[in-house]
Amino acid sequence: MALVLLVALLCGVADFTRSLSIINPEQMIEKAKGETAYLPCKFTLSPEDQGPLDIEWLLSPADNQKPDQVIILYSGDKVYVDYYQDLKGRVHFISNDITSGDASINVTNLQLSDVGIYQCKVKKAPGVSSKKVQLTVLVKPTGTRCSIDGSEEIGNDFKLKCEPKEGSLPLQYEWQKLSDSQKMPDSWLPEMTSPVISVKNATTELSGTYSCTVRNRVGSDQCLLRLDVVPPSNRAGTIAGAIIGTLLALVLIGCIVFCCHKKRREEKYEKEVHHDIREDVPPPKSRTSTARSYIGSNHSSLGSMSPSNMEGYSKTQYNQVPSEDFERAPQSPTLPPAKFMPTYKTDEITVV
């Protein structure tokens, strides 16, 4: 700060012969979208400058196609605004007394289209001076998502990803471990500042909570990631559990749909559907076969939505369901019916 003042003073001395001069410490200003940019333009007059004070701010938009635009004017002791539609209502002189030597402006609620070179021109005859300041508007990193690409099983390879939804380049990334010793695995260190960490031959020690921080010059954002490296079987168990849950939910939805349709149907059809179901449900052997037949009845209720194909459909249902049970029987001949649940589970894993 002191240095800036000193430089300004020296310049003032050097420019002593020139009457009016603008003291602008900054030539480049970087701000985040939505913020307010302060564009300085402080000037000094000399006793010779006796003419009327006129101040003009011009913008050369970064889009080279557009000509220079007047954005705000001070003339004859009055302020004139709203020359440039893109900045309507967002440009103000910040000083109440411009004649005291402050023609700085604020541009509020910055937009990406505000990027460009802003020029402050001060005239008080015979003095005249102008200064330029470049404004850059950047987008802060936001909506950052942490994710795992691959399955987090022991011995597996997968990737940890960190992706902001938006944010101006250049972006810097930093991963940290938040749990346990808070020490990042050694093999990850080279990728600690990368958006993607490639995990090779995973071990359970990698499990924990991690954070990824994304930064650019105007802001930062963070996401968290929970990593659980588990043996493959556990993982499969979890998936099987999820699938069983989904199937049960589907069965439930199927039942609801079925009941709604049943109410609306004519007496004739209703009878047939009841018949159909009774055929579907085999004697209550085990939980497995019950679940299967419910799914079967779900299908048949959907099939019977169009009554024309109903008869044929219910016949095939009748043929299919018992044969399916028959096929499955030899697969687990030693298991008593009460312990059918594990068989169901492994069935589901093969489906995956």
Relative to beta strand 127-138, strand 28-32 is parallel
Residue 24's SS3 state is coil
The C-alpha atoms of residue 224 and residue 238 are separated, in whole angstroms, by 22
* Cα angle for residues 70, 71, 75 (degrees, 5° grid): 80
Give the nearest distance from C-beta 289 to ligand NAG in angstroms. Answer: 42
What's the first-to-final CA gap in the chain, in angstroms?
66
The C-alpha atoms of residue 81 and residue 92 are separated, in whole angstroms, by 8
204 forms part of the interface with ligand NAG (CB under 6 A): no
Query: Binding residues for ligand NAG, how many (CB under 6 A)?
Result: 7
Which residue in 27, 106, 234, 246 binds ligand NAG (CB under 6 A)? Answer: 106
Amino acid at 284: P
Q: Are 61 and 69 in contact (CB under 8 A)?
A: yes
187 forms part of the interface with ligand NAG (CB under 6 A): no
The C-alpha atoms of residue 39 and residue 132 are separated, in whole angstroms, by 10
Q: Which is nearer to ligand NAG, 36 or 100 (CB)?
A: 36
Tokens of 248: 């049960």
Q: Which is nearer to ligand NAG, 68 or 205 (CB)?
A: 205
38 forms part of the interface with ligand NAG (CB under 6 A): yes
Give the nearest distance from C-beta 132 to ligand NAG in angstroms. Answer: 18
Residue 286's SS3 state is coil
Site for ligand NAG in 62-101 (CB under 6 A): 94
Q: Which is nearer to ligand NAG, 208 or 296 (CB)?
A: 208
Site for ligand NAG in 126-165 (CB under 6 A): 155
- The DSSP line for 161-216 is EEE-SB-PSS-EEEEEE-STT-PPPGGGGGGTTSSEEEE-S--GGG-EEEEEEEEE
Q: Which is nearer to ligand NAG, 155 or 245 (CB)?
A: 155
Which residue in 203, 204, 316, 346 binds ligand NAG (CB under 6 A)? Answer: 203
Q: Which is nearer to ligand NAG, 36 or 109 (CB)?
A: 36
Draw the binding track, 304-323, toward ligand NAG (x: CB under 6 A; -: no contact): --------------------
For residue 132, the surrounding DSSP H or E stretch is strand 127-138
Give the nearest distance from C-beta 36 to ligand NAG in angstroms. Answer: 4
Which residue in 27, 36, 100, 246 binds ligand NAG (CB under 6 A)? Answer: 36
Relative to beta strand 116-124, strand 127-138 is antiparallel
**Residues that bind ligand NAG in the complex, under the rule CB under 6 A:** 36, 38, 94, 106, 155, 201, 203
